[in-house]
Amino acid sequence: MKKNLAVVILAAGKSTRMKSETPKVLHPLCGRPMLEYVLDLVKTLRPKKTIVVLGYKQQEVRKCLGTGVTAVVQKSLCGTADAVKTALPALKGFKGTVLVLYGDTPLLQKETVSKLLKYHVENNVDATLLTGNLKKPAGYGRILRDKLANVCAIVEEKDADDFEKAIKEVNTGIICFNNDKLAAALKQVRPDNRKKEYYLTDTINIMYKSGCLVDAVKLIDINEALGINTRAELSKANSVMCSRINERYMLDGVSIVDPASTFIAWGTKIGLDTTIYPFTVIENDVNIGKHCAVGPFCHLREGTRLADDTLIGNFIEITRSSIGPKTIAKHFSYIGDTHVGKLANIGAGTVVANFDGINKHRTKISDGALIGSDTILVAPVSVGKNATTGAGSVVTKNVPAKTIVAGVPARFLRKK
Ligand code: UD1
Ligand code: CA
């Protein structure tokens, strides 16, 4: 498809309805700011220009923009039309399609946007809306159509009468514009509505009245339209994103016994034939090898590396640690700031005491070590190759290879 495309992402809004000090677009879905999903999608479209409109706490939002993006700042947050207007100077000299996306609509998929763009370009439309039919359309702008069923306006929920509120077709917020027509229409938008804001949605009726061609493409998967305004919507979007992520792992050869109770952060690496059991939470920056078993009830936190063939059982928390191949930790343990070698066995109830109240310290558990049940390893400490700690040991000194220690504090018992 031949196109001259620019994308404007609106991300200036406050988190009023989220009731949050964090800008809305930085709230995470599966461990990643929602805005980053939108930015990813835009990259796949290869636009000539990407402009992100920032406002509320713009310094914070700027950090997640990455390269190839122009940031502009909306001075007063007086509506989506004003936000798009702020982006116009950065589009000077550009001729073509302007795609407007909202930073709070992260479930949108690239296939949908490509379809919208294709329709817009091939039919030479001046403004093409992405709309969807919602059973519960509350909160969204409603699509008004004329007697010939052509789109003629969008009415916001707050300004809608009862008849309009009953309309199920909503504005997703995603609109393709012909650049020149958009600029002309924006000039005519007035804040004469309940919120006293400049609505981008008003450009539709303005364009319709001036004889422009306005049209709409309908969404198939209505989840994609979900605009996140509240924490309840955030959690709904999170579960949609989680299930998409889980599905991708399953397609790639990972077994997830119960996707509904498995939460895997975006970007986790998981090898072939690994099985994730129910009630498992995997946070950012975790790599899991092949043929591993994880869970049930397992919490893998930042910086966890599991080599191939590891068995991590129930009630295990691991953070900033690497676990070597064929190592087993099957029952309730905390492993933090630790390097564990291969073929080690971490007994039930093992705790790495990595924090002395001020600093965190590292622990090393070498290849073939056998950590007895209920051992506490007081970091910094190391357990040598093939060494054993007795049940209930509190290990405060390094354990030499092939020795057995036991007691509180753990003392040398004998060589192996
Ligand atoms: C908007 C649409 C509504 C649509 C819904 C879809 C308007 C007037 N309404 O409503 O028709 O059904 O999205 O989710 O456009 N923003 C700015 N600057 C501003 C105001 C907002 O950049 O001055 C940004 C926000 O950060 C957000 C996006 O624009 O990413 C949408 O704003 P929001 O206030 O969430 O609009 P809705 O009320 O959801
Ligand atoms: Ca919104």
Does the pLDDT of residue 1 top 80, yes or no?
A: no
The preferred substitution site among 7, 8, 9, 10 for testing ligand 1, maximizing ligand atoms within 8 Å of CB, is 10
118: confidence class by pLDDT, cuts 50, 70, 90:
very high
Residue 3: which pLDDT band, with cuts at 50, 70 and 90?
A: low
For residue 23, cis peptide bond before it (omega within 30 degrees of 0): no
- Computed over every residue of the chain, the mean pLDDT equals 97
Average pLDDT of span 169-196? 96
How many angstroms separate the Cα of 84 from the Cα of each of 98, 179, 198, 302, 368? 10, 11, 10, 38, 62
CA of 147 to the centre of ligand 2 (A): 29
State which ligand 1 atom lies nearest to the alpha carbon of 170. 12
137 lines ligand 1 (CB under 6 A): no
What is the tens place of the pLDDT at every residue in 197-222? 999 999 999 999 999 999 999 999 99
Where does the chain hold its CATH 3.90.550.10 domain(s)? 2-225
Give me the helix-helix angle, 179-188 and 80-87, nearest 10°: 130
- CB of 317 within 8 A of CB of 295? no
Answer positive or negative: Cα dihedral of 182, 187, 193, 195: positive
353 lines ligand 1 (CB under 6 A): no
CATH architecture group of domain 231-415 = 3 Solenoid (2.160)
Q: State the Cα–Cα distance between residues 177 and 96, nearest whole angstrom.
A: 8
Hey, how many other C-beta atoms are within 10 angstroms of the C-beta on 253? 12
Quickly tell me which residue has 């050869």 as its tokens.
253
Q: Which ligand is nearest to the CA of 200?
A: 1
Q: How confident is the model at residue 14 (pLDDT cuts 50, 70, 90)?
A: confident
Residue 375 has what pLDDT? 98
Confidence at 15, pLDDT banded by 50, 70, 90? confident
Average pLDDT over residues 20-37: 97
Establish whether residue 131 lines the binding site of ligand 1, counting it when its CB lies within 6 angstroms of any ligand atom.
Answer: no
Where do the CATH 2.160.10.10 domains begin and end in the chain? 231-415
Token pair listed for 303: 């910086």
pLDDT, position 411? 98
Quick one: average pLDDT of 242-248?
98
Is the pLDDT at 32 greater than 90, yes or no? yes
331 is catalytic: yes
Q: Establish whether residue 132 lines the binding site of ligand 1, counting it when its CB lies within 6 angstroms of any ligand atom.
A: no
Q: CA angle 271-272-274, nearest 5°?
A: 80
pLDDT at 94 over 90: yes
Question: Is residue 104 helix, strand or coil?
Answer: coil
Distance CA 33, CA 55 (A): 16
Give the whole-number percent of the chain exceeding pLDDT 90: 97
Residues 170-184, mean pLDDT to the nearest whole number = 97
The third-level CATH classification (topology) of the domain covering 2-225 is: Spore Coat Polysaccharide Biosynthesis Protein SpsA; Chain A (3.90.550)
95 C-alpha to ligand 1 centroid (Å):
25
Whole-model pTM: value is 0.95
Q: What are phi and psi of 269, to 5 degrees?
A: -105, 130
pLDDT digits (tens, 9 = 90+) for 45-67: 999 999 999 999 999 999 999 99
